[in-house]
Amino acid sequence: MSGNSFGKLFSVSTFGESHGVAIGCVIDGCPPGLPLSEADIQPELDRRKPGTSRHVTQRQEPDRVEILSGVYQGVTTGTPIALLIRNEDQRSKDYGNIAESFRPGHADYTYWHKYGVRDPRGGGRSSARLTAPIVGAAAIAKKWLLQQYGTVFKGCMSQLGEIGIPFESYEHVPNNPFFAATADAALIARMESYMDDLRRDGDSIGARIDVIAQNVPVGLGQPIYDKLDADIAYAMMGINAVKGVEIGAGFQSVSQRGSEHGDELTPQGFVGNNAGGVLGGISTGQDITVSIAIKPTSSIRTPRRSIDKDGNPVMVETFGRHDPCVGIRATPIAEAMLALVLMDHALMHRAQCGDVQVATPDIARAK
Amino acid sequence: MSGNSFGKLFSVSTFGESHGVAIGCVIDGCPPGLPLSEADIQPELDRRKPGTSRHVTQRQEPDRVEILSGVYQGVTTGTPIALLIRNEDQRSKDYGNIAESFRPGHADYTYWHKYGVRDPRGGGRSSARLTAPIVGAAAIAKKWLLQQYGTVFKGCMSQLGEIGIPFESYEHVPNNPFFAATADAALIARMESYMDDLRRDGDSIGARIDVIAQNVPVGLGQPIYDKLDADIAYAMMGINAVKGVEIGAGFQSVSQRGSEHGDELTPQGFVGNNAGGVLGGISTGQDITVSIAIKPTSSIRTPRRSIDKDGNPVMVETFGRHDPCVGIRATPIAEAMLALVLMDHALMHRAQCGDVQVATPDIARAK
Amino acid sequence: MSGNSFGKLFSVSTFGESHGVAIGCVIDGCPPGLPLSEADIQPELDRRKPGTSRHVTQRQEPDRVEILSGVYQGVTTGTPIALLIRNEDQRSKDYGNIAESFRPGHADYTYWHKYGVRDPRGGGRSSARLTAPIVGAAAIAKKWLLQQYGTVFKGCMSQLGEIGIPFESYEHVPNNPFFAATADAALIARMESYMDDLRRDGDSIGARIDVIAQNVPVGLGQPIYDKLDADIAYAMMGINAVKGVEIGAGFQSVSQRGSEHGDELTPQGFVGNNAGGVLGGISTGQDITVSIAIKPTSSIRTPRRSIDKDGNPVMVETFGRHDPCVGIRATPIAEAMLALVLMDHALMHRAQCGDVQVATPDIARAK
Amino acid sequence: MSGNSFGKLFSVSTFGESHGVAIGCVIDGCPPGLPLSEADIQPELDRRKPGTSRHVTQRQEPDRVEILSGVYQGVTTGTPIALLIRNEDQRSKDYGNIAESFRPGHADYTYWHKYGVRDPRGGGRSSARLTAPIVGAAAIAKKWLLQQYGTVFKGCMSQLGEIGIPFESYEHVPNNPFFAATADAALIARMESYMDDLRRDGDSIGARIDVIAQNVPVGLGQPIYDKLDADIAYAMMGINAVKGVEIGAGFQSVSQRGSEHGDELTPQGFVGNNAGGVLGGISTGQDITVSIAIKPTSSIRTPRRSIDKDGNPVMVETFGRHDPCVGIRATPIAEAMLALVLMDHALMHRAQCGDVQVATPDIARAK
């Protein structure tokens, strides 16, 4: 209730700071009887962990997860599941120089004014590192949703700065460092040199990420306020550096006519998906399609104007190890948030309406 | 908790359907001692009510609000405030013909599959009419926020279908039927004929709405999950027909560099507002700037393919009284949602950190 | 979340004051498809309404309930159900004399210090009149629980002041003005004269109420904090004037040995019910047995010492119409609270664990 | 929200099982700027830890607490505080023999039916061991409440089985193994031999515990449902083995007259405290006085009738290490729960009404 818990019935309460002792979370509400071990969670954490290519932060963190509770003899017991990840590669000295001033585009300024105290080491609580526990929790949700409904989650980067990335197939995503759904080697090479130039310039860039959920039960979502799409927007905008969220046709809807936007229905299913799988805040059973805008990393080497705690003008340069494009590692995080929202709504729906229905055919499904 | 309440500490629980007996809400958590009467609420309801121009639904609803509780001798007592609005102009016969089939782009299909029963009269619970109680509740939040911090809320339509609407000044908003922040008579005339053509064609169109909050205290928002911008995204995406939400630079952030996006600070304040007034999920004290995409109305006269409850193909034409552009009346609704989010976070902040601070100068403020 | 809502998944938000325009509630989370009309709710309200005998307040309130939403063609739709009860017999002049001072044993003092403002008419929000909406909401929960699991709720007064009331059978409860489970005419007559003496003396008295739920599914309750018995204690202590709550053996457990208290199990079921139907916070499927202590009415004609708002000593006599024993009307209220707790936990259990199980045999069941 | 979190604004989410890897909690909502280290928490944990006398379980657990987050340079940052306690003295073989059958009076039966799976080691999640994290979290609440308002918490055992323990002074509590507020050596000796006899008989006994909070601000509590006393009842009944809760006069209220029960007021303060410091669900500023009934330990060596998972009759004897009177260690736990309730309500009150007021004089205060 105080902000650091996600979800109502599959509730994830996280803790930790970038350079503290450890990070982790407590997952409350997981259904009993789900086979679960660290081996189900670690692969998801590995997808988002740092140091996997030269285009992301070089911080070396194994992000090894430990299950502390809620699992007995290999299955969930229905009691809280605690996940613990020890921080191992802290270099707090890297941050000493910005403890007294506010980095432009960072949470330094707001934390200081809100709390009157802040942990400047690696951005403290505001670090993207805190997405690790949520990815771990989502691995459990993904497993349950797959087992119950066959629901799967996929995502890719569709734009890197000015570079658009045409969608070919999700199968290509693991084969390049950008989570790009393309096999176009020339395009990947262009993105690599683009990133190399940025790092050389001490600058950063934004990105657009698309995620979808497939085989979603129909009927998930509450009609008003806790709409499925409203909770998805909440979840996505809550990811570090996200500045925009679209469902289905998103901002294209502005210039569409009703006769174009409204997805027609046939006995075989919906013939389009401008709705993005949600109508009136409730899932249609089609693919849930979401797109998010991620701002460029605020921590850059380029000197920038700012002020210190006393309001005096200062120039700030941020050294240390940063992702020149936080969007690169955002794909598994966005998938995770989407999974947590669907998990919570699946349980909420089951509470009020009993067991949920199977998915509805979607003629216009992404491959 | 079951979806129909908005807010945690300034909590608004709404009820009602488009053609039921009445609609309304219970507001729990309003601070005591606020002078309040129906006269504070009615003007906000009048801004969104139907029938104010030929470009919106012709349903005639006075939307007269009655305060049932929580106010004694003209001031709030700290106990729940109930607002009641009787429905007066129901014409359910208009909807009989769609009770057995699903209108493309509508919640008919999802409600039916979720609940196994639905109220088809005017869209029942999914009708935009249900934004009236929230606008009423927000009028109370706006009054308290203005009194406490001087916070004000403004909004306008910035795009109608393909027609962009350059921003001049909010003072022009009340002077045209589109909530456009312009005095350009030729542009307004063009929009009028554009809407007339749409109605003649039995079609509808989308719109983009911008809203801002000014004089916002610094420090509102919880660092993770219940971020101020996450809750704003949740609130905005929860408005009927919204398909996209942007904070600050929004999707423009994708192609921005860090050296461009991150708003620099000087002793006089921030020199830009790409952040939209939120950093790390917490308000900076700058203007909160939000932009939303609203899809075209799904209820159109143009015949469309669909299916009935038994899965048989049918053609659907929607008669009755509808807004050919639901975006036209969305501006006061978006302002209301933004006000409710800030109100809730103001109380949440006060709980954890005590009284909030005054706003921070914003050199790049909208006029 | 701000205190005036009861329940998480079957959530009841109430509003209103004793002498305001109206009282009522919004029920969020009711499963769809339940046949429902005012005729299902009114009888429960009639059981608790005032003026039914000379031993309760003579205020004449029909407590006629109106369903404003959430029901279509005679069945619940799954959307919020709003109940409205207009106040009809207000005599606020009766209370003018205590607006400036604090009645001993009343909420006057605490409301004033908490809010800095209070509605003194009939106790405002702190009036027992506010139990009417909760009884109305519980009528819906009772109907659903009966239909789903055959669960029934019964209650009786087991002590009136010094007078113990031996339990014979619940069938006698409707046949006397005290909700006593006895057919002992001499005992009833003694209670009548006891109450007549109290009224003559301008004094009041306490009471003990017992309530049970039968045919309760096994498995309801969360292991820690939101235990079934913890939520029952919360619900019961929340009833006006309640000062003590017992589950099962209650305070007798203090002097029991483990070999006596722990209910043994046989293939035929439990052989005792010291547990009161709850073990480890989870229902056993036995009868849930609860007992509560209700303090004497604070509003009495006997002059008492107090202070006014400025701290000056005053003598307070309370005229107006009051129950000389608030316990008399407490039985249906306690049943209602128990029903709401079980309803909420039934939905919570269904969310996490799927459909609940049938009841377990209870050899030692109350008749 | 799924049951394992306590509190709304000072929210404590616990995890762990008696014989798992570790137990702990995440505390969300702690105000920033509070000086805090393990040294503030460990003493409270030491008061409740096992093995401190021959009258409690001989399990040897240092219950060493580690703060994993939320504290930087010795002060709280306003972000979540995670507490971790490793389990060290597990002897799961002690419990193997009861894995297939249900111990009378235990949660074995209900967990099995609720979840279809349970961790039988030491009672798993239902073990009183899980009160350790809550005691740790409450140590933080106690420190904040003391610093803000001077609030202090005290408790003692007032009855052990049939043995009543007259109250002398709280200063005697640390000087005997029973948390008895007496210096009567003969009485202590009698209690010691009473317990020795019970252990010899392989039986157990119940107890009554009294706790109070002093220097409580006036105005804490929400008028309906989330009343201060309702939340206290919820918190107390949630403690393992508690079967009854009283506030103030408790069950004595049943036979009291209004002219006796209602606490009169003078310019010097209240002249009595039958209310137990709560009127209309809101604190009066007097001492909050609470009494709880604790049932005898269910785990005893005396053979008892039960059934196995297949419903076959079995005899159950529980060996292993158990408290022959769980009430002995309950005093610090009850204090902790009371502190958490007051902390949560202090923040809730601050949210709605701003900073709270100082305590009101209480002429009839316990020493």
Three state DSSP letters for B316-334: ECCCCCCCCCHHHHHHHHH
**CB burial string C229-259: b at 16+ within 10 A, e below:** bbbbbbbbbbbbbbbbbbbbbbbbbbbbbbb
Contacts of D280 (CB under 8 A, 6+ apart): C106, C107, C110, C111, C126, D221, D223, D227
Out of A1, A78, A352, closest to residue C353 by CB = A78
Contacts of D219 in chain B (CB under 8 A): none
B259 interfaces chain C, CB cutoff of 8 Å: no
Across the interface, do C68 and B22 touch by the CB < 8 Å criterion?
Answer: yes
Average pLDDT, chain B: 91
For residue C262, which amino acid is it? G
pLDDT of residue A317: 85
The residue that leads in pLDDT, B184 or A127, is B184
Residue A16's closest chain B neighbor by CA? B224
Average pLDDT over residues A94-109: 81
Average pLDDT over residues D219-231: 93
Contacts of D25 in chain A (CB under 8 A): 26
* Whether B74 contacts B301, CB under 8 Å: no
B221 interfaces chain A, CB cutoff of 8 Å: yes
Out of C115, C245, C311, closest to residue D244 by CB = C245
For residue B145, which amino acid is it? L
Average pLDDT over residues D274-278: 97
Confidence of residue C29 (pLDDT cuts 50, 70, 90): very high
D23 interfaces chain A, CB cutoff of 8 Å: yes
pLDDT of residue D122: 78
Out of B105, B126, B205, closest to residue A262 by CB = B105
- Does the pLDDT value for residue C354 go beyond 70? yes
Q: CA B156, CA B160: separation in Å to the nearest integer?
A: 11
CA distance D124 to chain A (A): 10
CATH class of the structural domain C5-365: alpha beta
Across the interface, do C77 and B119 touch by the CB < 8 Å criterion?
Answer: yes
Across the interface, do A2 and D15 touch by the CB < 8 Å criterion?
Answer: no
Q: Which of B318-332, C245-259, C287-301 has the lowest mean pLDDT?
A: B318-332
| Residue C126 annotated as binding site | yes
pLDDT, one tens digit per residue, over D41-73 is 999 999 987 777 888 777 777 889 999 999 999
Across the interface, do A77 and D118 touch by the CB < 8 Å criterion?
Answer: yes
- Does the pLDDT value for residue A273 go beyond 90? yes
Number of Cβ pairs < 8 A linking chain A and chain C? 44
Give me the percent of chain D exceeding a pLDDT of 90.
75
Give me the percent of chain B exceeding a pLDDT of 90.
75
Contacts of C223 in chain A (CB under 8 A): 79
| C305, β-bridge pairs | C315
Average pLDDT, chain D: 91
* Whether D329 contacts D191, CB under 8 Å: no
B107 interfaces chain A, CB cutoff of 8 Å: yes
Tokens of D140: 């933080």
A2 interfaces chain C, CB cutoff of 8 Å: no
pLDDT, one tens digit per residue, over C67-105 is 999 999 999 999 999 999 998 876 655 555 678 899 999
Average pLDDT over residues A255-274: 95
Average pLDDT, chain A: 91
Across the interface, do D26 and A14 touch by the CB < 8 Å criterion?
Answer: yes
Q: CA A290, CA A276: separation in Å to the nearest integer?
A: 7
Across the interface, do B352 and D353 touch by the CB < 8 Å criterion?
Answer: no
pLDDT of residue A341: 98
Q: Counting beta carbons within 10 angstroms of the beta carbon of residue A186, is it exposed (0 to 12), middle (13 to 18) or buried (19 or more)?
A: exposed
**CB burial string D282-298: b at 16+ within 10 A, e below:** bbbbbbbbbbbbbbbbb
pLDDT, one tens digit per residue, over A174-212 is 999 999 999 999 999 999 999 999 999 999 999 999 999
- Does the pLDDT value for residue A359 go beyond 60? no
Number of Cβ pairs < 8 A linking chain C and chain D? 377
pLDDT, one tens digit per residue, over D72-83 is 999 999 999 999
pLDDT of residue A56: 76
Average pLDDT over residues D159-165: 97
- Does the pLDDT value for residue D322 go beyond 90? no
Q: What are phi and psi of A291, to 5 degrees?
A: -130, 140
How far, in Å, are A121, A295, C129, C196, D234 from residue C295 at the CA level? 56, 61, 16, 18, 19
Q: Which of A89-93, B101-105, B201-205, C208-212 has the highest mean pLDDT?
A: C208-212
- Does the pLDDT value for residue A92 go beyond 60? no
| Residue A127 annotated as binding site | yes
Tokens of B262: 């991150």
pLDDT of residue D91: 62
- Does the pLDDT value for residue B47 go beyond 50? yes
Average pLDDT, chain C: 91
C253 interfaces chain D, CB cutoff of 8 Å: yes
Give me the percent of chain B exceeding a pLDDT of 70.
94
D66 interfaces chain A, CB cutoff of 8 Å: yes
Q: Beta strands of chain D (E only): which ranges?
A: 5-6, 11-15, 22-28, 65-67, 71-72, 75-76, 81-86, 152-160, 163-164, 207-214, 242-247, 265-266, 269-270, 278-279, 282-283, 288-294, 304-307, 313-316
pLDDT of residue D56: 76
CA distance B190 to chain C (A): 41
- Does the pLDDT value for residue B364 go beyond 60? no
Across the interface, do D13 and A75 touch by the CB < 8 Å criterion?
Answer: no
With CA atoms as reference, report the closest residue to B245 among D6, C351, C197, A234. Answer: A234
C332 interfaces chain B, CB cutoff of 8 Å: no
Listed by number, the residues of chain A in 132-161 with a beta carbon closer than 8 Å to a beta carbon of chain D are none
Confidence of residue D357 (pLDDT cuts 50, 70, 90): low
Across the interface, do A13 and D13 touch by the CB < 8 Å criterion?
Answer: yes
With CA atoms as reference, report the closest residue to A266 among A362, A193, A177, A366. Answer: A362
B116 interfaces chain C, CB cutoff of 8 Å: yes
Contacts of C347 in chain A (CB under 8 A): 351-352
Contacts of B8 in chain C (CB under 8 A): 1-2
pLDDT, one tens digit per residue, over D86-132 is 988 766 565 556 788 999 999 999 999 999 988 888 788 888 889 99
The residue that leads in pLDDT, D143 or B97, is D143
CA distance C350 to chain A (A): 5
Residue C10's closest chain B neighbor by CA? B2
| Angle at alpha carbon of residue A160, lines to A154 and A164, rounded to 5° | 85
CA distance A308 to chain B (A): 9
Q: CA D279, CA D221: separation in Å to the nearest integer?
A: 10
Across the interface, do B69 and C20 touch by the CB < 8 Å criterion?
Answer: yes
pLDDT, one tens digit per residue, over C100-144 is 899 999 999 999 999 998 888 878 888 888 999 999 999 999 999
- Residue carrying the six token digits 């404003």: C68
A350 interfaces chain C, CB cutoff of 8 Å: yes
pLDDT of residue B367: 47
**CB burial string B272-289: b at 16+ within 10 A, e below:** bbbbbbbbbbbbbbbbbb
Out of A218, A248, A352, closest to residue B2 by CB = A352
The model's pTM: 0.95
A29 interfaces chain C, CB cutoff of 8 Å: yes
pLDDT of residue A141: 98
With CA atoms as reference, report the closest residue to A354 among D7, C209, C351, B142. Answer: C351
- Does the pLDDT value for residue C206 go beyond 50? yes
3-state secondary structure of A189: helix
Contacts of C76 in chain A (CB under 8 A): none
Listed by number, the residues of chain A in 289-328 with a beta carbon closer than 8 Å to a beta carbon of chain B are 293-300, 302, 304-307, 311-313
pLDDT of residue D300: 87
- Does the pLDDT value for residue A2 go beyond 80? no
pLDDT of residue B63: 87
